[in-house]
A and B are shown apart, each in its own frame.
Chain A
Amino acid sequence: MKTCLVVDDSRVIRKVARRILEELGFEVAEAADGMEAMAWCRTAMPEAILLDWNMPLMDGLEFLRQLRKEPDGDQPIVVFCTVENDLEHIALALESGADEYIMKPFDGDILSVKLMEAGVLA
């Protein structure tokens, strides 16, 4: 079973994402910010990461940049999932190593197709 790490400081969003991802057949892990997510990744690299942008301690972009420098940090498919919805943010995320990008609000359809686009879901 593939693992998806959901990184978001909102418990509600984590819960919504978990429900959708579990329906898609993922094992789900949660982190409330970039620091927690990094600790998780150093223990066990997930196959996919759903990543919020604005979070306390370490934001999504900072986390992504560090992740891509870690051993095996190039492995996870990273899908940003954020309220930031302008081209500058999207371009910056892609340059920094994101595979896909979701602008909130999202639903199960959007999430599943984006995971397909990113190649983590058949």
Chain B
Amino acid sequence: MKSEDLETVRMVVHARSGVAVDISKEYAIESRLAPLARRDSFADVGELVQAIRARRDEGLMWSVTEALIQGETCFFRDREPFALFRDDMLPALAARADRPVRVWSAACSTGQEPYSLAMIVDEVAPRFPGLKVELFASDLSERRLEKAQSGLYTQFEVQRGLPIRLLVRHFEKVEEVWRLSQSLRQMVRFRRINLLADLRALGQYDVIFCRNVISSLDPALRGRVLEQMAQALAPGGWLVLGQDERPMGLTEALESISGWDGAFGRNPAFRAAA
């Protein structure tokens, strides 16, 4: 790819998602955009990028963005955060519940994360008869949200992180793919949300999972997105980040919670600029 084309691609993705595309990975970029070029009958990726510069077609620019932002996910990814949710967060929330518990899986990609949370809620429900949990899930990509809502996963996908007993309990096989039960699908409400937008209208959540997103963003935007997340936390709520993600050095709005690796609470001393 021409360096001018790579730069166009970098700017298109950055403006829409805040994601910093590494343009030194030219081969990866080209192989992800090639199917898109074919779909829209361009001779090659170069011609696709040229068309973007000439026409500024918003639909095409979104397609490029969706193709290049990381969607890697699996059921119960990294395991520990989900154990924390099941063994510590939900029991604590059940004890204070005078209203439904609200949980948000932000940047949920193809749905494995919110559905893992739903399976946990289903598992612990008998222990907490009064507990009501509302699960919300969002992603930037319309295409990934569609897949998430279909609840259809390949044999490869259901073997990444999903214990076999949960496969038996919650899935049925439809030809060569696996379909999540309707009752579990209905536990999660999906919605397209751009984390760069103003999130104040979204309300507040007791638990937010926002894993492996912050680290993919342009460093200059990380603090702001984290502050929005902090604002979306209900009093006493927790934000769960990816394995190597920390808010320290990016914002003062969040503080770590002792004994809970990867979970952060609102810093009461921090007041966001209005």
A-side residues, CB < 8 A to B, are 85-87, 90-91, 94, 100-103, 106, 109-110, 113-114, 116-117
10 pairs, CB–CB < 8 Å, chain A vs chain B: A85-B155, A85-B173, A90-B167, A94-B164, A94-B165, A100-B163, A103-B155, A114-B159, A116-B79, A117-B164
Residue interface mask B126-139, A partner, CB < 8 A = 1: 00000000000000
Question: Using Cβ atoms and an 8 Å threshold, which residues of chain B touch A109?
Answer: 160
List CB contacts (< 8 Å) of B22-69 with chain A.
Answer: none
Closest to B164 in A: A101
The complex places the Cα of A45 from the Cα of B165 at a distance, in Å, of 25
Q: Which of B156, B160, B161, B168 contacts A90 (CB 8 A)?
A: B168
Given contacts A85-B155, A91-B168, 13 further A-B contacts (CB under 8 A): A86-B173, A90-B164, A90-B167, A94-B164, A103-B155, A103-B159, A106-B159, A109-B160, A110-B156, A110-B159, A113-B160, A114-B159, A117-B163
Separation in Å of the A23 CB from the closest CB of chain B?
18
Closest to A86 in B: B173
List CB contacts (< 8 Å) of B131-188 with chain A.
Answer: 155-156, 159-161, 163-165, 167-168, 172-173
Separation in Å of the B167 CB from the closest CB of chain A?
7
The complex places the Cα of A36 from the Cα of B245 at a distance, in Å, of 49
Instruction: Let me know if A87 and B163 touch, CB within 8 A.
Output: no
Shortest beta-carbon contacts, A-B, top 6:
A101-B164, A117-B163, A110-B159, A100-B164, A103-B155, A90-B168
Instruction: Let me know if B163 and A102 touch, CB within 8 A.
Output: no
Question: Using Cβ atoms and an 8 Å threshold, which residues of chain B touch A100?
Answer: 163-164
Closest to A98 in B: B164
Question: Using Cβ atoms and an 8 Å threshold, which residues of chain B touch A87?
Answer: 168, 172-173
The complex places the Cα of A87 from the Cα of B163 at a distance, in Å, of 14
The complex places the Cα of A113 from the Cα of B77 at a distance, in Å, of 10
Interface size on B, residues (CB 8 A): 13
Separation in Å of the A103 CB from the closest CB of chain B?
6
Instruction: Let me know if A102 and B168 touch, CB within 8 A.
Output: no
Instruction: Let me know if B160 and A110 touch, CB within 8 A.
Output: yes
Separation in Å of the B244 CB from the closest CB of chain A?
19
Closest to B75 in A: A113
Question: Using Cβ atoms and an 8 Å threshold, which residues of chain A touch B163?
Answer: 100, 117
Q: Could you say which of A90, A100, A101, A113 has the most chain B C-beta atoms within 10 Å of its C-beta?
A: A113
Separation in Å of the B178 CB from the closest CB of chain A?
9
The complex places the Cα of A90 from the Cα of B160 at a distance, in Å, of 16
Separation in Å of the B148 CB from the closest CB of chain A?
21
The complex places the Cα of A94 from the Cα of B164 at a distance, in Å, of 9
Question: Using Cβ atoms and an 8 Å threshold, which residues of chain B touch A91?
Answer: 168
The complex places the Cα of A116 from the Cα of B159 at a distance, in Å, of 13
Q: Could you say which of A94, A109, A117 has the most chain B C-beta atoms within 10 Å of its C-beta?
A: A117
Closest to A91 in B: B168
The complex places the Cα of A61 from the Cα of B159 at a distance, in Å, of 21
The complex places the Cα of A72 from the Cα of B223 at a distance, in Å, of 56
Question: Using Cβ atoms and an 8 Å threshold, which residues of chain B touch A106?
Answer: 159
The complex places the Cα of A91 from the Cα of B168 at a distance, in Å, of 7
The complex places the Cα of A101 from the Cα of B159 at a distance, in Å, of 9
Instruction: Let me know if B168 and A94 touch, CB within 8 A.
Output: yes
Closest to B167 in A: A90
Question: Using Cβ atoms and an 8 Å threshold, which residues of chain B touch A101?
Answer: 164
Question: Using Cβ atoms and an 8 Å threshold, which residues of chain B touch A86?
Answer: 173
Separation in Å of the B50 CB from the closest CB of chain A?
39
Question: Using Cβ atoms and an 8 Å threshold, which residues of chain B touch A102?
Answer: 159
Question: Using Cβ atoms and an 8 Å threshold, which residues of chain A touch B160?
Answer: 109-110, 113
List CB contacts (< 8 Å) of B76-125 with chain A.
Answer: 79
The complex places the Cα of A114 from the Cα of B79 at a distance, in Å, of 12
Closest to A102 in B: B159
